[in-house]
Amino acid sequence: MPPVQLAIIGAGSRGSGFARYARQHPDEARVVGVAEPRDPYRNALAAAHSLPPENVFRDWQEAASRPRFADAVIIATQDRMHVGPAVAFAALGYAVLLEKPMAPDEPGCRRIVEAVKQHHTLFAVGHVMRYTAYTQTLKRMIDAGQIGDIVSIQLLEQVGFWHYAHAFVRGNWRNEALSSPMLLSKSCHDLDWIHYLIGAPCEKVSSFGTLKHFRAEDRPPQAADRCLDCPVEPSCPYSAKRIYLERIRAGHTGWPVSILTPDVTEPAVIEALRTGPYGRCVYACDNDVVDNQVVNMQFEGNRTAAFTLAAFTPMGDRLARIFGTCGALYGDGRTIEHFDFLHNRREVIDTHASEGSILGGHGGGDERLMRAFVSAVAANDPTPVLTGPDETLASHLIVFAAERARLENRVVTL
């Protein structure tokens, strides 16, 4: 079959990352268009894929005003810019891969689901955690009854101290009004993952969480508004100079440095730190999202789950414990330790050993998601897609319920 033709809506970090799949697998997919308001990012993606000028757009509305010119769109705009393009491109007959979260609120999610069902759209959401070899191994073991019936799951999301400062204090996801709650923007992955492994409806949710640290009252007395001018910067673990300049000086030009400026050179990064949002003091930003949160869930069948989101960690893989009636599973994103009660025996499985390496981002999840989506579009068969509209809506509703529980200090029944 000919390669699946893709249009990229949003050419930032996620959009350009998904587009790389077409360059790595030209027999499977080809990027034929891009819509992006920022000139450097739009032009870079257009040049990388040799796009004709008529398929290079300044915004998604321009692309949607054309008759359908691709098989599928990948929508990787900001969180609050998902509903419009998702609904429009579904109506035009495109298959749609939508970056998570689906939308920042329940009405937006339901509007997207209604549109893709009305137009019989092949639809996937970028919950990449479902697609990793690690998750699929866990799912097979659970479904095969290797730990009996699931009783409870514990999951820790290690956001990472500097990653939190980058994305959720200084960056695009720092403010709920501009993006969405932290639990949705960062950890809808995690609640979706728990829901996927348990495989039953969630019934009740409670949650607690706050912005504990990155506030004006925690600011050191001598701190300046920007790290480049700050006398206490050398002793600050959240120093923008340390996070970005040390990386660029070590030759690292990818994420997160590439988020600051398309010109990934030391002078350009210094200028971005002097004038842009990523050079600000972490105690003098307009951030309001939580830096710690716990969510407790009760699922059908008397199963429970506990999720912890923590900014104050090294940046690391999620740590999971899955307790069953006949055994337990302990995972770190790559290896799985299986303890069998009957035989009092432990087995350790390296889920990446058979692949030789971690393919792409998110432990191989990006690559596997793209492979599933492209193959589904090529065959016009949604079977490879693990994150369709109903599954995604169900896990998003858990997130929204958890936020209501946190803000209203109560247990929410779904």
Contact call for residues 227 and 241 (beta carbons, < 8 A):
yes
Whether cis (ω within 30° of 0) applies to the bond prior to 2 is: no
| pLDDT value for 363 | 65
Residues 6 or more apart in contact with residue 366 via CB below 8 angstroms? 17, 18, 21, 128, 360
| pLDDT value for 109 | 97
On the CB side of 49, how many CA atoms lie within 13 Å of its CA?
Answer: 32
φ and ψ at residue 314, rounded to 5 degrees: -60, 155
| pLDDT value for 107 | 97
How far apart are alpha carbons 218 and 221 in whole angstroms?
9
On the CB side of 75, how many CA atoms lie within 13 Å of its CA?
Answer: 30
CATH annotation of 4-121:
3.40.50.720
* Cβ neighbour number for residue 188 with a 10 Å cutoff: 24
The helix (H) or strand (E) run that includes residue 269 is helix 266-275
140: buried, middle or exposed (CB in 10 Å: 19+, 13-18, 0-12)? Answer: exposed
Residue ranges of domains in the chain: 4-121, 130-214+288-357+389-413, 219-279
| pLDDT value for 360 | 52
Structure tokens at 22: 């077409």
| pLDDT value for 31 | 98
Tell me the CA distances in angstroms from 16 to 37, 102, 277, 373, one per residue in order: 14, 19, 22, 16
Helix (H, G, I), strand (E, B) or coil at 120: coil
Q: Which CATH superfamily is domain 130-214+288-357+389-413 in?
A: Dihydrodipicolinate Reductase; domain 2 (3.30.360.10)
On the CB side of 183, how many CA atoms lie within 13 Å of its CA?
Answer: 28
What is the DSSP pairing of strand 123-125 with strand 95-98? parallel
Tell me the CA distances in angstroms from 154 to 111, 144, 151, 299, one per residue in order: 32, 20, 11, 13
| pLDDT value for 297 | 98
pLDDT by 10s per residue, the chain, length 414: 899 999 999 999 899 999 999 999 999 999 999 999 999 999 999 999 999 999 999 999 999 999 999 999 999 999 899 999 999 999 999 999 999 999 999 999 999 999 999 999 999 999 999 999 999 999 999 999 999 999 999 999 999 999 999 999 999 999 999 989 999 999 999 999 999 999 999 999 999 999 999 999 999 999 999 999 999 999 999 999 999 999 999 999 999 999 999 999 999 999 999 999 999 999 999 999 999 999 999 999 999 999 999 999 999 899 999 999 999 999 999 999 999 999 999 999 999 865 443 345 566 778 999 999 999 999 999 999 999 999 999 999 999 999 999 999 999 999
Please provide the distance, in angstroms rounded to a whole number, between the alpha carbons at the two ends of the chain: 44
| pLDDT value for 356 | 41
φ and ψ at residue 227, rounded to 5 degrees: -65, -30
